[in-house]
Amino acid sequence: MENWKENPKVFWVLGLPPTFWLSAFFIIPLGFLFVMSFSDKAVIDGQVSITEYSYLTGISNYIRAFDSLYLTIIWKSIWVSALATALCLLTAYPIAFGICFAPNKWKPLLLLFVILPFWINLLIRTYALIAVFRTQGYVNLVLGTVGLGPYEMLYNNFAVIFGLVYVYMPFMVLPLYATIERLDKSFLEASLDLGASQFRTFLSVTVPLTMPGIISGVILVFIPCLGSFLTPDLLGGANAIMIGNVIERQFKSANDWPFGAALSFLLMYATFGALAIRSLIARRSKGVDI
Amino acid sequence: MAAQMKPGQGALDYGSRLWLKILFGVIFFLLYAPIITLIAFSFNTDKRGIVWRGFTLNNYAKAWDNEALIEAMTNSLMIAFLATIIATILGALVALMLWRFRFPFKAGYEGFMALPIVIPEICMGVALLLFFINSGMMELSVHLPWPLNLGNIVIAHVSFCFPFVAVVVRSRLVGFNRQLEEASKDLGASEWQTFWQIIVPYMKPGLIAGALLAFTLSLDDFVITFFTSGPETVTFPVKVYSLVRRGVSPEINAASTVLIVITVVATVLAMKLQAPEKAGKG
């Protein structure tokens, strides 16, 4: 690798266009959002204006975000995401484990099958779930043949959590697979030879040794869950509002952009917090980076 | 998959444990059943789409005749096409710079480039909405002819796609033997000639994989497009969203199936190109 001073012309030719693009069409927009989050709707002649804003008026929007109404929604977003993440871990671990111990020629194909749904449009996958779970859907059709139901399975927290697990599970499998694959299998043999049961070996050897992958996967799933908008919107209906839906509402129907901007920044801080935890743990586990 | 596994009950032979196979089967069933039913029922004659009544291609014909749907699809493909070109160029530039140079605050710069990847989509969507409205670009786009009126969406898509392209291209460049570059320069080639004749051919699989990734990301994006599209422009996911809110119909199944096929083909191609090379290839 050469120092940029040795060849500054090439350095600038390579570096300037993307840096300009990201600054102009990403950082500056975030700057607009940041300023907006500290602003308020302008009051003109004693009337609250719809289109005009008075900028940088204070932190009232952030204070409002801690109203009990919004605090409840934030809290609900957190536990819904946490539960979905936990369920992802429970389903993804055996999958990743199974792929690692599958015959070598099967591994790439099995991995492809896990990742493939991830590439199918999020909206289409959510739509597919609606078709399965709606009142006249396939699940109720099957239940109907044995004389049960129909049940209302959509538009509640269960549907949202199921949808999130369904959508983000592949994110969990990949980091888990990477750590389990690298796990020195002789540790497991040693543990079994020394008399530990399979279950004990799993809890005391496999899980601690694959902890970096678990943490990585948990954070990779938790972040998009927390910021999700489409899944709770389509599967949760009015009953399962998450923070993403509140933000969308501020920018569309409620037309309260400053408050929406403040909520967006709170969501971003939460995301950065989760990422910071991840890199902190990655550093402590001696450079095992996923 | 299960039938091919070697029988054996070694302590570590988890691959052949029955419970693991059953669990595998159940989870894969849950993962794929909704998508497969969606595709299957796009060929169903029943209008309400619940019971299987027979095979037909009518839903595809109806989707094809639905002008709004076709317009949305054309918009989506056009946006994806333009965004892919720009994102691939920008992503390749970033990858080359990070691969070739040492410079102050490099770690910070890498973090800066990763921001669009980690930030919640909805935050990026509303930030761009605010930006386009305040800078007058939203107002401007309404008066422009097609495809220039898609400009804002293209810009938004490039912003979230090119850091992904950069990651893919850079991982390809890591395997490059720098002596080739030195040899080329020793033999009298200029910086430019070396770039086009040595580095670009080597990068090519990474570039194609990155471009396909950008294409699928752009084609699939709903959240950011939802916020940055003006009132007049509709993309395919945005159109499907408005249809889905009104209910389930086999026509949506047909249109969705087409999109699934496009993205799956693009993804499988990209993965093939990204996979570690076998002997004798490029």
- Most A CBs within 10 A among B6, B21, B38, B221, hence the mutation to make, goes to B38
Residue A183 has pLDDT above 60, yes or no: yes
Contact by Cβ (8 Å): B252, B244: yes
Residue A110 contacts by C-beta under 8 Å, 6 or more apart in sequence?
A98, A99, A102, B1
Most confident of A172-176, A186-190, B128-132: B128-132
Domain presence at residue B253: yes
**Phi, psi (5° rounding) for residue A42?**
-70, 145
The mean pLDDT value for B226-232 works out to: 84
Selecting from B119, B155, B158 the residue whose C-beta is nearest the C-beta of A271 gives B119
Do B259 and B208 belong together in one domain? yes
Do B78 and B141 belong together in one domain? yes
* CB contact (8 A) between residue A247 and residue B122: yes
pLDDT of residue A289: 46
CA distances from B5 to A108, A112, B13, B77, B241 (A): 15, 19, 10, 43, 43
Residue A30 has pLDDT above 70, yes or no: yes
| Per-window interface: A 37-76 vs B, CB < 8 A | none
B96 contacts on A by Cβ (under 8 Å):
14
Selecting from A106, A131, A192 the residue whose C-beta is nearest the C-beta of B37 gives A131
User: Does A226 touch chain B if contact means CB atoms closer than 8 Å?
Assistant: yes
Selecting from A123, A261, A268 the residue whose C-beta is nearest the C-beta of B241 gives A123
Domain presence at residue B265: yes
User: Does A271 touch chain B if contact means CB atoms closer than 8 Å?
Assistant: yes
Do B118 and B103 belong together in one domain? yes
Residue A235 has pLDDT above 70, yes or no: yes
Interval A133-151: pLDDT, tens:
877 777 777 787 887 767 7
Residue B240 contacts by C-beta under 8 Å, 6 or more apart in sequence?
A123, A124, A127, B252, B255, B256
Greater confidence (B103 vs B275) lies with B103
Query: What angle do the packed helices A243-251 and A257-284 form, to 10 degrees?
Result: 150
Domain presence at residue B131: yes
Interval A268-290: pLDDT, tens:
998 898 888 878 877 776 544 44
Place of tokens 């916020």: B227
Nearest chain B residue to A124 by CA: give it: B256
Of A16-20, A42-46, B136-140, B177-181, minimum mean pLDDT range:
A42-46
- Most A CBs within 10 A among B27, B126, B227, hence the mutation to make, goes to B126
Q: Name the residue type at position A173.
A: V
Residue B116 has pLDDT above 80, yes or no: yes
Residue B17 has pLDDT above 80, yes or no: no
CA distances from A238 to A50, A134, A157, A232 (A): 26, 15, 10, 9
Q: Please name each of the domains of chain A with its CATH number.
A: 60-284 (1.10.3720.10)
**Domain total of chain B:** 2
b/e burial code for range A248-259 (CB count within 10 A of at least 16 → b): bbbbeeeebbbb
Residue B274 has pLDDT above 80, yes or no: no
Do B209 and B119 belong together in one domain? yes
Do B144 and B52 belong together in one domain? no
Nearest chain A residue to B18 by CA: give it: A98
Average pLDDT, chain B: 84
B241 contacts on A by Cβ (under 8 Å):
123, 230
Question: Which band of pLDDT confidence, cut at 50, 70 and 90, is reported for residue B147?
Answer: confident
Do B241 and B145 belong together in one domain? yes
Domain closes at, from B35, B59, B83: B59
CB pairs under 8 A between A and B: 242
Do B160 and B266 belong together in one domain? yes
A264 contacts on B by Cβ (under 8 Å):
120, 122-123, 126-127
pLDDT of residue B90: 96
Residue A202 has pLDDT above 90, yes or no: no
- pTM score above 0.90: no
Do B270 and B224 belong together in one domain? yes
Selecting from A14, A102, A134 the residue whose C-beta is nearest the C-beta of B15 gives A102
Question: Which band of pLDDT confidence, cut at 50, 70 and 90, is reported for residue A160?
Answer: very high
CA distance B199 to B179: 12
Selecting from B35, B220, B271 the residue whose C-beta is nearest the C-beta of A112 gives B271
Nearest chain B residue to A247 by CA: give it: B122
Domain presence at residue B282: no
User: Does A11 touch chain B if contact means CB atoms closer than 8 Å?
Assistant: yes
Q: Is the dihedral of CA B43, B47, B48, B52 positive or negative?
A: negative
Torsion, Cα A228 B233 B72 B125, to 10 degrees, reads -20
pLDDT of residue B50: 65
Domain presence at residue B5: no
Share of chain A above pLDDT 70, in %: 97
CA distance B79 to B86: 11
CATH number of the domain encompassing residue B241: 1.10.3720.10
Place of tokens 């540790």: A187
* CB contact (8 A) between residue B134 and residue A32: yes
Residue A234 has pLDDT above 70, yes or no: yes
Question: Which band of pLDDT confidence, cut at 50, 70 and 90, is reported for residue A225?
Answer: very high
Of residues A263, A126, A25, the one with CA closest to residue B123? A263
Domain presence at residue B147: yes
Domain presence at residue B220: yes
Do B189 and B133 belong together in one domain? yes
Do B75 and B38 belong together in one domain? no
Selecting from B15, B103, B220 the residue whose C-beta is nearest the C-beta of A98 gives B15
CA distance B5 to A106: 9
Domain presence at residue B38: yes
* DSSP annotation string for A204-234: IIIHHHTHHHHHHHHHHHHHHHHT--HHIII
Alpha-carbon distance A192 to nearest alpha carbon in chain B (angstroms): 8
pLDDT of residue B275: 64
Residue B8 has pLDDT above 60, yes or no: no
Greater confidence (A42 vs B72) lies with B72
| Per-window interface: A 155-214 vs B, CB < 8 A | 166, 169, 185, 188-189, 192, 198
Residue B203 contacts by C-beta under 8 Å, 6 or more apart in sequence?
B92, B95, B169, B172, B173
**Phi, psi (5° rounding) for residue B206?**
-65, -40
Do B164 and B111 belong together in one domain? yes
Do B49 and B65 belong together in one domain? no
User: Does A276 touch chain B if contact means CB atoms closer than 8 Å?
Assistant: no
- Give me the domain span that covers residue B51: 14-59
Alpha-carbon distance B248 to nearest alpha carbon in chain A (angstroms): 7
Residue A170 has pLDDT above 80, yes or no: yes
B14 contacts on A by Cβ (under 8 Å):
97-98, 101
- Kindly report whether the peptide bond that precedes residue B147 is cis, defined as omega within 30 degrees of 0: yes
Helix extents (H) in chain A: 8-22, 28-37, 60-65, 68-100, 107-119, 122-133, 138-145, 157-182, 185-193, 198-201, 207-209, 211-226, 230-231, 243-251, 257-284
* CB contact (8 A) between residue B38 and residue A169: no
Q: Residue B12, SS3?
A: coil
b/e burial code for range A55-80 (CB count within 10 A of at least 16 → b): eeeeeebeeebeeeebeebbebbbeb
